[in-house]
Each structure stands twice: as C-alpha cells, then as structure tokens.
Amino acid sequence: MKTGRQIRTKRTEEGIALLISIFILLLISVVAIALIVSSGTETALAGNYRASTGVYYAGLSGLEETRARLLSKNPDAFNTTDPSTFLPPPGTALNMGDTYYLINPIGGQAITPWDSASTYPDSQFGAEFGLSSGFFSPTNPSPTALSVWNRNPLQPLGIPGPLYKWVRINAVSEKSLGIDVDADGLPDSTTPLYFDGAHFSNSSSAGPQVLEVTSFATLPNGSQKIVQYLVAPTPLNLTFNAALTMDGNNVLFTVPNTTNFWVRGNDQFSVGSCNPGPGVVDAVGYTNSSDSSQSNILSAIQTGPPSNKNRQGNYTNGVAPNPDVSYETLSPNLQTVAGLNTLVQTITQNADVVINGNATQSSMPSGMSPTSPMTIVVNGDLTFNGWHNTGYGLLLVTGTFTFDPDATWNGIVLVIGKGVLYSHQSGSGQFNGAVFLASTLDSSGNPLPPASAPGSPNFDFTSSSGSNGIYYSSCWIQASMPGMSYKVLSFHEIAQ
Amino acid sequence: MNLATSDERQLGFTLIELLVALGIFLVITGAAFTLLSTSQHGYQTESLVLTSFQEARLGLDQMVRDINDAGFPPPAFAGTDPTKFAITPFAWSTGAGYSGTPCQIGTAGGGTCTTASVTNSPGDLDLIIETNPNIQDPLSKVQWIRYQLVGTTLMRGVADKAGGGTDPDAVTTAAGVLVPFVQNVVNNACPPQIPNCQTAYPGIFPGGAPVPIFSYACDNSSPPPATVPCLGPGADNSPTNIRDVMITLVVAAPLADATTGVPRLVQLNGRGRRINPNQ
C-alpha cells in the first residue's frame, strides 16, 4: 500500500513538471526567435549599406590608381611598367573604339572583360558605344596592365588590395557622350574629344585628349558598381611676358648700380635639344599702369650723368627702348589673390618636394640636375647663404626668398605669398628663365581678400656688387614646367 | 480486494493538493504571460524601429549617391544648353544670385542662398542637388533633386532643370514635385514635440538643439589646400564650393516604447563627397 501510494504520487508530479517545462521552453523559444529575427534584420540592413559603400570606394580606388598611373612621372606609370604593350606613347591619341584594361585579379582569377562570357564582362562599353558609335564590344583581346596590387613590391606582401576587377581606358566622342561640343545642334561627331582647359573640343589642336576611365568593382556578396571619370592632363600653362614680372599694386623695386647686373628679355640658353627662339619678352613687367609701379621701377634704375653710370641699357630685350620696363596684362587667374592661391595649390599638389616652414640651401634636394629639373615648394622663408651651386626646375617660395648670388637658378622662380625677393650679398650667380613676384598678404601679413588684386611685391637687390641678374630663357622655362596630374573633368556612378 | 479498493480511492487528489497545484500553475502561467506580453510589446516596438531604420537607411543611401554625383555633367561637356550641364553642384535661388553671386550657406537657420522659400537651401534641412543621373539617355536633362524637411517628413523632389535663370527653389517647390521620402524624421521636431527625448537621448540632441540633417565642408581657396567646414561668411562659404555633405538622420519609431513610454530613436550618419570639379 505504501509502495502503491509512492508510485501514484511520482506519476502525478512528472506530468506537471513536463507540462510546465514544455510551456516555459515554448516561451523562451518565442522570445529567443524574436530577438534573433530582430538582430538579424538589423544586421542585414546595416550590411547592405556597408556593402554599397564598400563597393563604391572599391570602384573609386580603381579610378584613382588609373588616374595616377597615367601620369608619366609616377614611378608606376603605365609607360614605365608596360612601356610598349599598353597605352600608345605619350602624345599619341587613342583611337575611338580602342580599349585598354587595367586588371586586378585576385587569387589567379582570369579577368577578360572583352569576353562577354567571362566572369566580369564589360557590358557597359556596348551600352555606351554600341548604338551611338557602332562599337558593340571592346577590342578582343584588349591590351591589359596589372594593378599595383599584382606587381612588385605589393604583390609578395600579400596585402589584400581593393576589390575592383577592371578599369577601362578609352577615347570619347560627341556621339558616345551624347553631347554637342561644336554647337552644330547635333551630338553627331565620332572624332575623339580634346580639352582646351575649359571646354571640350573636336579639334586635336585644342589641347590634350579627354580619356574616359571606367571602373568595375564587385564584392564577394555580389554587390557591384561601375563608376566613371573623364580625365585630361592639365599642363601648367604659365607664360611669362617679362624676365622679371612684378604682379600687384605699387611695386617696390631696388636694384644695384653695378655694370654686371642685367635684366634681359632676350631669349637665351639652349637646354638639351631646345634652342632659344628669336622672340623676346620685356625685361621688367608691372601690372598696374595707374599707380606708382612704373615710376618706382624707373626711379630705381640709375640714369647718370655721368653717362658711364647710366644703367638703363642693362634692362633690355634688344628691341624695345631702354630701359625696357613695360605694363603687362596677365592671364585672369594671376590677377586676383584667389587665382594666385589656386596656382600655389596646384603647384604644391604636383611638387616633387614640399618644405613646410623656413628653409635654407641645405633643404634643396640633391637630385636636381639639368636633365632632371624638380618642382620645389617652400611654404615659408627660403634663405640661400654661401651656396655655390645651381638649382634646376621650378622654385616656389611663399615667404621671403633671400638669395645669395653665389648660387644660380635655372628655371622658374615664383615668389607668391609675401612676394619678397631679397639679395643683399655679392656674387656672380644669376636667374636663367623667369622670375615672378606677387604678394597675397597685406602689410600686416594677413591674407588679402580672395577677389582683390595682389598687394605690393618687393624686389630688393641692394648689394653693392649685385648678382649677374635675370636672363629670360624659354628653354629653361619649358624644361622646368612641372607635369600636372590628370584632372578629373567629371565623375558619375553608372546605374545598373 | 480490500487493498485494491483502498488503492483506487487514493488515486485522486485531495482538495489541498489540487488547490496548491492550481495555485502554482496560476503563478507560473501568470508570470509566463506577463513575460510573453512584455516580449510581444518589445517585439512590436523593435519591428517599428526596424521599419523606420530601414526607410532611413535606404533614404541615406540615395542621398549619398545623389551628392556623390552632384555637378554632373560639368559645363566643360557642352557649354551652350544650360539644361544639359550643371552650372553648379548645388543649386540655390535666383534671388540670391544663382547666376553667379556667392551666397552664404545656411547654418542654424541663417544663410542667404534662398529668399523665396521658408527654409534656406543649401541649409541645415534643405538641399538642392544639380546632376544628371541618366546621362546615357540622349533626351535626358540635368535635374534638380531637392531634399527638404517638412515637419517630420523628409521630402524628395525631382524636376528637370530649366534654363534662362529659372529659380530652382520655385521649380522644386511647385505642387506635386516634392513627395514624402523618409517619415518620422525628428531632427527638427524632437524638442517641442517629444519633450523627454532629449532627456532620453542626450547624445543625439546635445543641448536640446535641433540636429542639422545636412552639414557642409567647403573647398578652401587659401593654401595649404584643405576642405574646411563652411562656417561664417566669406567667398569660400558658397554652394559652388561645397565638397562634402555630412548627413545625419534622426528617425523615430511611429510609437513610443510600449513598456517605458520613451520615444525610440535611431540616428544614422552618412557622408556624400562631390567629386566633380568646381564649376
């Protein structure tokens, strides 16, 4: 009887426990599933956005790599890494319909975008050129170059590079872009487009060719994106109408009275295969004809008597009356502080060496040579003192440039910022090329308003013996003109 | 036989056993249902938050794309027909000098770029993008794409750009152009509408001030080259110089948290960077 009671009791308790357990388990399951669903959805939403952003930047990285490698001075430039197999030689235009691919395979995958049956086909090319220009598919096979991630020194490091697959480089025309460049009312021309610095043109003489760069990127999760640049090289078209140009109002001008100090506008000096032409520029140029600039310059040049003290003949171009001090009309971008600042920015972005802070001759790079002129920017004062050497290239100084004429500079000297060029020492050095001064600061050193004209530049050569002066040289100017980057003319994402 | 009868009587429960079992069952069941109800409320709230979150994510993605493409195609493409190229990446009202005079981007309700509208564009809560998202269609024109916060609804409007100095503000606010894009955007509505949201989310509403949807960084014309916040008057502070647009969307779930009564907010941040060159 005792045994039977124990058995019955146990059976009853087991039933209740089971029910309660099942119920609680059910409850917990519902809560757990709700939480999982909730966090799963949140993760998925955030993931989609992350994938969209990630593939966008992967595409952009392809565009930027291509844009950088189009530039000849880049160590990984296409004409250095793939000199005869990829793009035509510099200066040769791309033909319409020709396609060149930068490919970025990962793990040995084959990337042949011209093949419509391949993993990553270029269907965009046909969409862009097929109906409008009659090129229904890319050149088969197209020349290819490997991305920097597949070349030394990055490849052996095994760094996972960006996930773009290919970047296409090709020419564009009115028809392919659907735009009317020559204003004849029709987007009909199939000749390649060129860029004149402001607008597109059908004429090859207008400027460098416009290149279309199209990048395709895809992520392992299948997200894809195509982004596109139009780019063109933008040479720094600095023209000098005088051996020494003083840009601004009420210029300050001091020169020595020695016989050996010259400012000459005759074109001189051969550089490599470049020979000086018959053309001349003015010796000294100023840009405001209604202030004291002209009188300040003329009054600084000794006239005599006696006649042997007359130095007017030292400021000459051999054609104009002496002294050759003339009013210059500069290009619009050099007439305002904003334009000059932009020029400084542009040169800084493309400089070989940028020195922030004050510098001396010891900061000058050792790699400068007649065959390898360099672009050097000093964001501060530059002082040469006892430097018996020669500099080659474009020198931009934003502070005061104190020049010891023991040195010579072959190329372009821009003093934009404080606009002060001092020389209080003696020597036989000289400037061969052109010198340009502009002040973008007021007398207190504060920036002038961007839209205003530059302030007073100061050319102050007060040494008793002076230097040999400034000699215009178109060949040195040309040799030291820096190669500018490929400018992005437009960008857009192609909807897929 | 006697034993068997006695066993059958003992098979049932006593009243006390039954009451105790029932009591325990009710307590457990009550607790379980309370928990279930709480979970269900939580789930409903989370679902609403997620819906808002999803809407805002999609909206943010679209805005970033539009801003990335702003200013396409630039005037270099074809400078004759103003409906075929973007004169500026971000448009502003004719009255404030759309044809070229710089204006000051609106921050904290200020600005001089739009005179005809209630809000300032470009401003904290308003932006007109000029771009052609469909260049390969030969009939396509450049479009004005406007984002404007109206109450708690972020509106989006797309209209073909019109030439001849037409005011983009008037075109994009014409009847039927702006349509609801993201609902329950509380960047500007939280402090007056929901007084306790600043208390609940001090990090989202520092100082209880409205949160700008759009904040801007401009190209700086002075060296060294930089992109700086477009603060204060000056030539750099102009829609033509906008390079980056930082987007902050604060969206609320349609209903407050069922348990606590606190509004459920989600803050999303994004950044669009115009790549097209200055016009």
pLDDT digits (tens, 9 = 90+) for A312-324: 889 998 888 889 9
- What count of Cα atoms within 13 Å lies in the side-chain half-sphere of residue B150? 13
Q: For A295, what's the count of Cα atoms within 13 Å in the CB-facing half-sphere?
A: 4
Count of residues in chain A: 496
DSSP A252: E
Using a pLDDT cut of 90, give the percent of chain B over it: 20
| Cβ of residue B66 closer than 8 Å to a chain A Cβ | no
A189 has a pLDDT exceeding 50:
yes
Instruction: Find the range with the poorest average confidence among A157-171, A362-376, B36-50.
Output: B36-50
Residue B21 located in a structural domain: no
Find all residues with CB under 8 Å of A144, minimum gap 6, and list them.
A86, A100, A101, A102, A103
> Among candidates B250, B230, B249, B248, which has minimal Cα distance to B240?
B230
**Continuous segment of H or E residues that includes residue A315:** strand A315-316
Give kind and range of the element (H or E) at residue A130. helix A123-133
Q: Are residues A300 and A437 in the same domain?
A: yes
Beta bridge partner(s), residue A192: A173
Distance, in angstroms, between A182 CA and closest chain B CA? 8
A339 with A456, same domain?
Answer: yes
User: Do the domain assignments include residue B123?
Assistant: yes
B3 touches chain A (CB under 8 A): yes
Q: Let me know: does A96 contact A191? Beta carbons within 8 Å.
A: yes
Asked whether residue A123 falls in the same domain as residue A171, the answer is yes
Q: Which of A22-36, A73-87, A333-347 has the lowest mean pLDDT?
A: A22-36
Mind giving me the DSSP string for A8-66? HHHHHHHHHHHHHHHHHHHHHHHHHHHHHHHHHHHHHHHHHHHHHHHHHHHHHHHHHHH
Q: How many CB atoms lie within 10 A of CB B150?
A: 15
| More confident: A110 or A450 | A110
- Which chain B residue is nearest to residue A342, measuring alpha carbons? B221
Identify which of A331-335, A392-396, A468-472, B121-125 has the greatest average pLDDT: A392-396
Instruction: Please give, rounded to a whole number of angstroms, the shortest distance from the CA of B84 to a CA of chain A.
Output: 8
- State the smallest CA–CA distance between residue B7 and chain A in angstroms: 7
Lowest mean pLDDT among A39-43, A304-308, A359-363, B102-106: A39-43
Query: A298 is written with which tokens?
Result: 């003329």
Among A104-113, A246-255, B205-214, whose mean pLDDT is lowest?
B205-214
pLDDT of residue B1: 45
The per-residue pLDDT for B94 is: 62
CB-CB contact of B269 with B246 (8 Å): yes
- Residue B254 resides in a domain: yes
Q: What is the mean pLDDT of residues B3-11?
A: 52
Contact A171, A93 (CB under 8 A): yes
Confidence of residue A349 (pLDDT cuts 50, 70, 90): confident
B227 pLDDT higher than 60: yes
How far apart CA B210 and CA B213 sit, in angstroms, is 9
Neighbouring residues of B107: CB distance < 8 A, sequence distance ≥ 6: B123, B124, B212, B215, B230, B231
Number of domain units in chain A: 2
Together in a domain, A449 and A490: no
A332 & A472 share domain: yes
The pLDDT-based confidence of A455 (bands split at 50, 70, 90) is very high
The answer to whether residues A252 and A384 belong to one domain is yes
Give, in order, the Cα–Cα distances in Å from A366 to each of A145, A219, A464. 33, 45, 31
Residues A258 and A217 in one domain: no
- Reference A239, options A303, A299, A328; nearest CA is A328
* Average pLDDT of every residue of chain A: 86
DSSP string, A465-480: S---EEEE-HHHHHHH
* Residue A158 scores a pLDDT above 60: yes
Q: How far apart are CA B92 and CA B117, in angstroms?
A: 11
Do B39 and B46 form a contact (C-beta atoms < 8 A)?
Answer: no
Q: Is the residue at A53 inside a domain?
A: no
Three-state DSSP string of chain B: CHHHHHHHHHCCCCHHHHHHHHHHHHHHHHHHHHHHHHHHHHHHHHHHHHHHHHHHHHHHHHHHHHHHCCCCCCCCCCCCCCCCCCCCCECCCHHHCCCCCCCCCCCCCCCCCCCCCCCCCCECCEEEEEECCCCCCCCCCCEEEEEEEECCEEEEEEEECCCCCCCHHHHHCCCCCEEEEECCECCCCHHHHCCCHHHHCCCCCHHHCCCCCEEEEEEECCCCCEEEECCCCCCCCCHHHEEEEEEEEEEECCCCCCCCCCCCEEEEEEEEECCCCCC
In degrees and rounded to multiples of 5, residue B136 shows phi and psi of -80, -10
ipTM for the assembly? 0.72
Q: Give the gyration radius of chain B's Cα atoms.
A: 29
Chain B residue numbers with beta carbons less than 8 Å from the beta carbon of A488 are: 275-277
Cα distance between residue B88 and residue B102, in whole Å: 11
Residue A11 falls inside a structural domain = no
Same domain, A247 and A323: yes
Contact A382, A364 (CB under 8 A): no
Residue A70 within any structural domain of the chain: no
Q: Structurally, how many domains does chain B consist of? A: 1
pLDDT for position A23? 78
Q: Is the pLDDT of residue A218 over 90?
A: yes
Residue A154 in tokens: 């990055």
Instruction: Write down the pLDDT at residue A348.
Output: 85
Write down the pLDDT at residue A465: 62
Q: Please indicate whether, in this complex, the C-beta atoms of A342 and B221 are within 8 angstroms of each other.
A: yes
pLDDT at B146 over 90: yes
Whole-angstrom distance, CA of residue A432 vs CA of residue A410: 5
Examine the pLDDT at A166 and tell me if it is beyond 80: yes
Mean pLDDT lowest among A92-106, A207-221, A471-485: A471-485
Q: What is the pLDDT of residue A351?
A: 83
Residue A127 in 3-state DSSP? helix
pLDDT (0 to 100) of residue B4 = 46
pLDDT at A31 over 60: yes
Distance of CA A120 to the CA centre of its chain: 31
Tell me the sheet residues that pair with A145. A102
Q: Which pLDDT value is given to residue B69?
A: 92
Instruction: Judge whether residue B218 has pLDDT over 90.
Output: no
Residues in chain B: 279
- Distance (Å) from the alpha carbon of B118 to chain A's nearest alpha carbon: 31
User: Between β-strands A400-402 and A420-423, what pairing exists: parallel, antiparallel or unpaired?
Assistant: parallel
Q: Is A253 part of a structural domain of the chain? A: yes
pLDDT band at B27 (very low <50, low <70, confident <90, very high): very high
Q: Residue A440 above 60 pLDDT?
A: yes
Q: Which of A30, A177, A199 sits opposite B79 (nearest CB)?
A: A199
Q: Does residue A3 have a pLDDT over 50?
A: no
Average pLDDT over residues B216-235: 69
Q: Are A447 and A353 part of one and the same domain?
A: yes
pLDDT higher than threshold 70 for residue A164: yes
> Does the pLDDT of residue A42 top 80, yes or no?
no
Residue A221 and residue A250 share a domain: no
pLDDT at res. B3: 46
Is the peptide bond between A447 and the residue preceding it cis, with omega within 30 degrees of 0?
A: no
What is the extent of the structural domain holding B109?
A: 38-273
What domain range is A162 assigned to? 78-235+484-494
Q: Are residues A213 and A260 in the same domain?
A: no
Residue A268 lies in a domain: yes
Asked whether the predicted pLDDT for residue B178 surpasses 80, the reply is yes
Task: Report the chain A residue with the minimal C-alpha distance to residue B222.
Answer: A341
Q: Does a structural domain hold residue A9?
A: no
Q: Would you place residue B233 in the very low, low, confident or very high pLDDT band (cuts 50, 70, 90)?
A: low
Rounded Cα distance between B92 and B240, Å, is: 10
Rounded-to-integer distance, Cα A279 and Cα A473, Å: 10
Of B32, B68, B236, Cβ closest to residue A27: B32
In angstroms, the separation between the Cα of residue A304 and the nearest Cα of chain B is 44
> Which residues does chain A have within 8 Å of residue B225's beta carbon, measured at their own beta carbons?
345, 348-349
Question: How much helix, strand and coil, in percent to the nearest 5, is found in chain A?
Answer: 25, 25, 45
Q: What is the pLDDT of residue A15?
A: 60
Q: What is the pLDDT of residue A470?
A: 93
Chain B residues touching A213 at Cβ < 8 A = none
Query: Per the CB < 8 Å rule, is A179 touching B77?
Result: yes
Per the omega criterion (within 30 degrees of 0), is the bond before B122 cis? yes
Inspect the interface and report whether the beta carbons of A16 and B25 lie closer than 8 Å.
Answer: yes
**What pLDDT does residue A378 have?**
94
**Alpha carbon distance B167, B158 (integer Å):** 14
Residues A309 and A415 in one domain: yes
